[in-house]
Structure 1
Amino acid sequence: MIASMTGYAVMSREIPEGSLTLELRSVNNRYLDIQFRLPDEFRLLEPAMRELLNTQLKRGKVDCRLTFIPYANTDLPQKFNEQLLNKLLELNNAVKSALSDAKSLTVADILRWPGILSSDTLSTTVLHESCMELLQATLNEFTATRVREGEKLKNALLERLRQLRQLTTELSPRIPMLLANFQEKLVARLQEAKIDGNDERIRQELILFASKIDIDEELSRLQTHLDEVEHTLLKGGRAGKRLDFLMQELNREANTVGSKSVDAEVSKISVELKVLIEQMREQVQNIE
């Protein structure tokens, strides 16, 4: 399946000590960039959480936010972090030495300091399983949202692909028509100027003109690239980078068609090609 890099999922889980909520959101990015926002009690879980996300995600800027709300009536045995307290007192004295007017930390300040009080029941060892199970469940829903969005992107791209094929089909018969019109005008001008328009001279002029407006190779390459885009979309998987490359190739051929144009209709079709390709390129930027 084609997956979008844009996704969102949030899930909550009740545990004996409180409520866990995990939120995943992502936007497009060239590489995989995961940012974590975790409570202090869960900091040690970050490597394991990152490893799990890496197994299912390959591209995108991902924000992982975990919140924990303890139950107010939960009577948990508390531990006092004496090492952190000593460090706070050292810093407090250092600030007081530098700034005589600075206020000292109060008991309330110290007790509210992150990490100064911890609970045996809230250790990362005990909570690890619940948190990782919640992450896996949220990741499954998150991946599903990206796949659903990717399916919409694929259908939109296939529709624009159909329009591009229609435009290239309209281009093919215009070149012989342009050559026929040029030959008629050339013969008429030579006759008006009373210049001998022998077949060889006309043939040489036609060959020169045809070489300038010939877009058969460009149309052939356009068709090849369109076939490859369709194949890549239908094959699925992580196709974003390949599709982005193909958009560049399509745009290059459309530009060449426009630069060779000596006909208003060909120029118009060339512009429409480039508009559609740019629309596709913008959508491809969101594909993983």
Structure 2
Amino acid sequence: MTNSMTAFANSEMDFENLTINCELRSVNHRYCDINLKIPERFRFAEPNIRHGISDKLKRGKIECSLSFKKHSFAQQKLTIDMDAVTALLSTTQEIEQLINKPQAFSALEVLAFPGIQIEKESDKAALLQTLLRLVESATDNLLLARQREGAQLSQLISSRCVKLQKLVNQAQRRMPQVLEHLRAKFKHHIAELVAEPNNDRVEQEMVLLTQKLDVDEELDRLDTHIMEVLRILEQNEPIGRRLDFLMQEMNREANTLGSKSADKEMTAISIELKVLIEQMREQVQNIE
């Protein structure tokens, strides 16, 4: 199954008086590069979260963001540090004596002051399990998104492989005509040399002809590479690196075919091959 490295997913869970959200974004990368953005209160779970993600995602630059919001006052019971409130009001009164026009403030403003509300200490073990389930859920959603896009990439690459195969077949059918043209051209040169023999020139012509004729190997290798790409697309594992290597090899064969071409049609075929291979290479960069 072909997986893309580009996707987005999120998931949300409740824990005590919190709603925790996890967002995952991934883009293409040579390796598995995980960047975590998490609140300080969740920092203790970082190694476990990182391991949980890397266990399922093998390649890609992955950004995992955790955030939380507290439930409304109606859904929770507040615990107030009354000693802190008393100290705050006492200090405020002392400061107000130094101010000409002291400003009044409400009880809600007092509640918002740091240290006034006492937060219940969460069970870290239970919180850890919640965080891991949340990240696992988001990771599974990301995998599904990567699989959907990967299926589209696989279809695009397969369709281009079909076009490549048609071009290779076209080149193979064209080769006899190219050979015949080269033979006629060579015979003409030999006729010119009969009246004025030049062994060095004959040798040069022979070498040139041999180089021009030798494209069967390139066409055969292109055939093999196309079949290998189609085979790899069916594998149920990360395939991006192997496909990237094959794109390089196919491009090399297409370049060689173009440089050896002694025929306009063969040159046009070589250009079309390189265009298709480049399109495939761009798609392959996003495959895990």
- The bucket for the TM-score relative to the shorter chain is 0.7 to 0.9
Q: Is the 8 A contact 1:17 1:121 kept in 2?
A: no
For 2:77, the equivalent position in structure 1 comes to 75
- Identity, in percent, stands at 39
Cα drift, residue 116 of structure 1 = 11
Cα drift, residue 123 of structure 1 = 4.9
Q: Is the 8 A contact 1:24 1:64 kept in 2?
A: yes
**SS at structure 2 position matched to 1:180:** helix
Cα drift, residue 181 of structure 1 = 2.0
Structure 2 CA distance, aligned partners of 1:238 and 1:194?
Answer: 60
Q: Is the 8 A contact 2:247 2:281 kept in 1?
A: yes
Aligned residue identity for 1:232? I
Q: Is the 8 A contact 2:79 2:117 kept in 1?
A: no
**SS at structure 1 position matched to 2:166:** helix
Structure 2 CA distance, aligned partners of 1:36 and 1:196?
Answer: 81
Structure 2: 5+ residue runs without aligned partners?
A: 82-108, 197-201
Structure 2 CA distance, aligned partners of 1:131 and 1:157?
Answer: 38
Cα drift, residue 190 of structure 1 = 6.2
For 2:275, the equivalent position in structure 1 comes to 275
CA offsets 1:23-58 (integer angstroms, 9 cap, x no match): 111000001111111111101111111111111011
For 1:133, the equivalent position in structure 2 comes to 133
Cα drift, residue 118 of structure 1 = 7.0
Cα drift, residue 210 of structure 1 = 3.9
For this pair of structures, how many residues does the alignment match? 257
Within 5 Å, give how 1:151-190 maps onto structure 2.
Answer: 151-187=151-187
Within 5 Å, give how 1:204-215 maps onto structure 2.
Answer: 208-213=207-212, 214-215=214-215
Q: Is the 8 A contact 1:76 1:120 kept in 2?
A: no
Aligned residue identity for 2:240? G
Within 5 Å, give how 1:111-260 maps onto structure 2.
Answer: 119-187=119-187, 195=194, 208-213=207-212, 214-260=214-260
Q: Look at both structures and tell me which one has the larger radius of gyration over its CA atoms.
A: 2
Q: Is the 8 A contact 1:7 1:27 kept in 2?
A: yes
Change (3 A) 1:242 1:189: closer
Change (3 A) 1:255 1:133: same
Cα drift, residue 216 of structure 1 = 0.5
Change (3 A) 1:38 1:210: same
For 1:3, the equivalent position in structure 2 comes to 3
Structure 2 CA distance, aligned partners of 1:238 and 1:263?
Answer: 40
Structure 2 CA distance, aligned partners of 1:127 and 1:38?
Answer: 14
Cα drift, residue 72 of structure 1 = 3.3
Aligned residue identity for 2:77? D
CA offsets 1:237-260 (integer angstroms, 9 cap, x no match): 100111111111111111110110
Change (3 A) 1:244 1:131: same
TM-score (norm: length of structure 2): 0.79
Q: Is the 8 A contact 1:17 1:71 kept in 2?
A: yes
Q: Is the 8 A contact 2:3 2:150 kept in 1?
A: yes
**SS at structure 2 position matched to 1:235:** coil
Structure 1: 5+ residue runs without aligned partners?
A: 80-107, 198-202
Aligned residue identity for 1:166? K
Cα drift, residue 204 of structure 1 = 8.2
Structure 1 CA distance, aligned partners of 2:203 and 2:172?
Answer: 23
TM-score (norm: length of structure 1): 0.79
Q: Is the 8 A contact 2:239 2:287 kept in 1?
A: yes
For 1:53, the equivalent position in structure 2 comes to 53
**SS at structure 1 position matched to 2:30:** coil
Structure 2 CA distance, aligned partners of 1:34 and 1:116?
Answer: 37
Aligned residue identity for 1:70? K
Structure 2 CA distance, aligned partners of 1:41 and 1:163?
Answer: 55
Q: Is the 8 A contact 1:41 1:124 kept in 2?
A: no
Cα drift, residue 174 of structure 1 = 2.1
